[in-house]
A and B are shown apart, each in its own frame.
Chain A
Amino acid sequence: MLKTANFRPPTLSLRFIPVWRRNFLVWRKLAIPSILGNLADPAFYMLGLGYGLGGLLPEVGGVPYLTFLAAGTVCYSTMNSATFEVLYSGFSRMHVQKTWEAILNTPLTLDDVLLAELLWATSKSLLSGLAILVIVWALGLAGFGQTLWLIPLIILIGFCFSGMGLVMNALSPNYDFFMYYFTLVITPMVLLCGVFYPVDQLPSWLQTISAWLPLTHAIALARPLVQGGAPQQVLVHVLALLAYGGIGFYIALVLTRRRLLK
């Protein structure tokens, strides 16, 4: 049951910092396998498909396939990193290790903890996005200057998917539950939002669905930036990503209050 007290707006304050720092310090201990895990998978996808499949294709969307894939990979890698962090690692901290419970006995509140988790997952996914961007620069797929705008975009994508993922975290009884989210939300997004091929290759009903998905908005901004153009309808895309992340965070907060402050 949801009580009205759970719906109160979030109290955002700098008190989140020690919790963010706690996550950062733990991450620093395990940084090397963590970076490898976050980086290797999307990098191999991009390079393998980019060269392997790209060699069989003429240009895609007016550029070599590897360049086309680069923009999608930056977005998808950021999305995955943020999602994994709030789902699996966040759930460990909340449910398994009871770290949140320990923190709630101090002068911090659940709002502080959840804000810290949101910003921590955003920070961590920034690293994943940047790692792909570094490969893009190293391979000369895109100029340095034109792609600097990708950095704030990566932060925005991280925010968006961290906020959404926290909703799943709030609802989950166990780790297995997250398979639903990956199977029903994340995987369709990877396949429908233009990571591997232009959305206009899809039948129109799938295009309609795609237009509502946040990863589509992220790629709509990222692809022109990688290819040296200016994105269209920037405001719409930015607002879509902010809305998914912000509304997600608020719903997650209400549900987590119900879960932990009962």
Chain B
Amino acid sequence: MPLLNIHNLRKSYGPLEVVAGLDLAVEKGECFGLLGPNGAGKTTTLRLALGLTVPDGGTISMLGLPVPDQAREARVRVGVVPQMDNLDPDFTVRENLLAYGRYFGLKDAETAGRIPALLEFAGLEHRADARIDALSGGMKRRLTLARALVNDPDLIFLDEPTTGLDPQARHMMWQGLRRLLNQGKTILLTTHFMEEAERLCDRIAIMDHGKIIATGSPHELIGSHIEPQVVEIYGEGVADWTAAHGSTYCERVEKVGETVFCYTRNSEALVQQLCNRTDLRYLNRPASLEDVFLKLTGRDLRD
């Protein structure tokens, strides 16, 4: 049975249907990535799953309990890393963990017993008594993750866990999440970093306008939604070239500003053709999850 099971979920704000008939099942032990452009309804979906807002329609069950009716009971075994850090700035690192444990009804002695392992996990062994404002962005993020583990949850929600982190901090975060998966934890994360989803997630759902528009492993999504090779072409003559040769060499052509993206099963002939052109530059690469994402959700800005 899935740890989180969502069926035909709906939620509107005024005339805007933010979640519009969403189905989702997160299996035990997997890392499930929810991808979508800004405003696709990712955060609202997480809030609904946690029982923090009441859906207009549909059913949610989390850890076998109906949400929102028994959301409080279900949250006993859930950890949450929110999009924005909301650590307690008046407490030290250790005090943050102790206070958070109390909200789960944990005795201080119990939480204190878990703190060394949590600090080790977060790489904050020597910062136990540091104030929050003395921590870097990456440290705060890791402490927020450690705080979400204070109750030893089965299911962990992460809302854009690495937004705003530098590459070092991001890799450290990913290592931490992989350790959790190795321990058998289940993770549901939202992100708009394709790389993050590709590295961590067993399964991905691409979400737009409140609905899931594609689900599968990163490999499956690339295999089933897009041609395997991409050739990006830039240069002054690109428009003329596309008009003359585009449809001969590519299965699908997308023009974005001054760049042309050629999607094809076999790029050899195309690359041969481009080699002889001095007025064009090109980049031949395998298709990625980002190509799938852009194909399915479009290239328009979502502000």
A residues lining the B interface (CB < 8 Å): 3, 5, 18-19, 21-22, 25-26, 29-30, 97-99, 101-109, 261-262
**Could you tell me which residues of chain B, from 108 to 122, have a CB within 8 Å of some CB in chain A?**
none
Q: Does B86 contact A97, Cβ atoms closer than 8 Å? A: yes
* B86: contacting residue among A19, A25, A98, A108, CB under 8 A: A98
CB of B46, distance to nearest CB on chain A (Å): 10
> Quick one: which of B13, B75, B88, B95 contacts A105, CB cutoff 8 A?
B75
Q: Is B72 an interface residue (CB 8 A)?
A: yes
Knowing A5-B54, A262-B53 are in contact, say whether A22-B75 is a contact too (CB < 8 A): no
Instruction: Select one of A29, A30, A106 contacting B100, CB under 8 A.
Output: A106
The answer to whether A262 and B13 have CB atoms under 8 Å apart is yes
* Residues in A neighbouring B95, C-beta threshold 8 A: 25
List the B side residues contacting A97 at CB < 8 Å: 86, 88-89
> Would you give the 0/1 interface string for B26-61, flagging 1 where the beta carbon is closer than 8 Å to chain A?
000000000000000000000000101110000000
Is there a chain A Cβ closer than 8 Å to B213's Cβ? no
Interface flag for B7 (CB, 8 Å)? no
B13: chain A residues at CB < 8 Å are: 262
Could you say which of B76, B99, B151 contacts A18, with CB atoms under 8 Å apart? Answer: B99
Determine whether the beta carbon of A107 is less than 8 Å from that of B105. yes
Q: How far is the CA of A98 from the CA of B72 in the complex (A)?
A: 19
B interface with A by C-beta (< 8 Å): 13, 50, 52-54, 72-73, 75-76, 78, 80, 82, 84, 86-91, 95, 99-100, 102-105, 151
Q: How far is the CA of A21 from the CA of B88 in the complex (A)?
A: 13
Distance (Å) between the CB of B285 and the closest chain A CB?
40
Provide the residues of chain A in CB contact with B50, threshold 8 Å.
Answer: 105
Alpha-carbon distance between A194 and B53 when the two chains are bound, in angstroms? 45
Counting from the closest, the 4 A-B pairs by CB-CB distance are: A18-B102, A98-B86, A106-B103, A105-B80
> In the assembled complex, which residues on chain B have CB atoms less than 8 Å from the CB atom of A5?
54
Measured CB to CB, the closest approach of chain B to A115, in angstroms, equals: 14
CB-based nearest A residue for B54: A5
Distance between A107 CB and nearest chain B CB, rounded to angstroms: 5
Assess A18 versus B103: contact at CB under 8 Å? Given A25-B95, A109-B72. yes
Q: Is the CB of B103 within 8 A of A101?
A: no
Residue of A nearest to B53 (CB): A261
A201, B165: Cα distance in complex, Å: 65
- Interfacial chain A residues near B86, Cβ < 8 Å: 97-99, 101-102
Q: Which residues of the partner chain A approach B76 to less than 8 Å between Cβ atoms?
A: 107
Task: List 18 additional contacts besides A97-B88, A105-B50, A107-B75; criterion CB under 8 Å.
Answer: A21-B99, A26-B88, A29-B90, A30-B90, A97-B89, A101-B86, A102-B86, A102-B88, A104-B52, A105-B78, A105-B82, A106-B100, A106-B104, A106-B151, A107-B73, A107-B103, A107-B105, A108-B103
Smallest Cβ-Cβ distance to A113: which chain B residue: B103
The docked-state distance in angstroms from the alpha carbon of A247 to that of B50 is 29
A102 touching B105 in the complex, CB below 8 Å, given contacts A5-B54, A107-B76 = no
Find the B residue at minimum CB distance from A30: B90
Whether B99 pairs with A107 at a CB distance below 8 angstroms is: no
Q: Which residues of B contact A106 (CB under 8 A)?
A: 75, 100, 103-104, 151
Candidates A21, A102, A261; contact of B52 at CB < 8 Å: A261
In the assembled complex, the CB of A206 is this many whole angstroms from the nearest CB of chain B, namely 43
Once bound together, how far apart are the Cα atoms of A108 and B88, in whole Å? 17
A–B complex contacts, Cβ < 8 Å, 14 sampled: A19-B103, A22-B88, A22-B102, A25-B95, A26-B90, A98-B82, A98-B86, A103-B103, A105-B80, A106-B104, A106-B151, A107-B75, A107-B76, A108-B72
Q: CA separation between A62 and B82, bound complex, in Å?
A: 61
A101 to B53 alpha-carbon distance, docked (Å): 12
Query: Which residues from B are CB-within-8-Å of A103?
Result: 103
Known: A22-B99, A101-B82, A261-B52. A107 touches B90 (CB 8 A): no
Question: Once the chains are docked, how many angstroms separate the CA of A105 from the CA of B82?
Answer: 9
B99: chain A residues at CB < 8 Å are 18, 21-22, 25
A136 to B257, CA, bound (A): 78
Contact A107-B91, Cβ < 8 Å, known A18-B99, A101-B82? no
Measured between alpha carbons, how far is A81 from B147 in the docked complex, in Å? 32
**A104 vs B91: C-alpha distance in the bound complex, in angstroms?**
18
| Nearest-neighbor residue (CB-CB) of B157 within chain A | A105
Could you say which residues of chain B place their CB within 8 Å of the CB of A101?
82, 86
Question: A99 contacts which chain B residues (CB < 8 A)?
Answer: 86, 88
Question: How far is it, in angstroms, between the C-alpha of A49 and the C-alpha of B90 when the chains are bound?
Answer: 37
Q: Name which residue of chain B comes closest to A23, CB basis.
A: B90
B104 and A107 contact, CB distance less than 8 A: yes
- A104: chain B residues at CB < 8 Å are 52
What B residues does A105 contact at CB under 8 A? 50, 52, 75, 78, 80, 82
Q: In angstroms, how far is the closest chain A Cβ from the Cβ of B140?
A: 13
User: Chain B's nearest CB lies how many Å from the CB of A114?
Assistant: 15
Instruction: Tell me, in angstroms, the Cα distance from A254 to B5 when the chains sit together.
Output: 30
Which residue of B is nearest A102, CB measured? B86
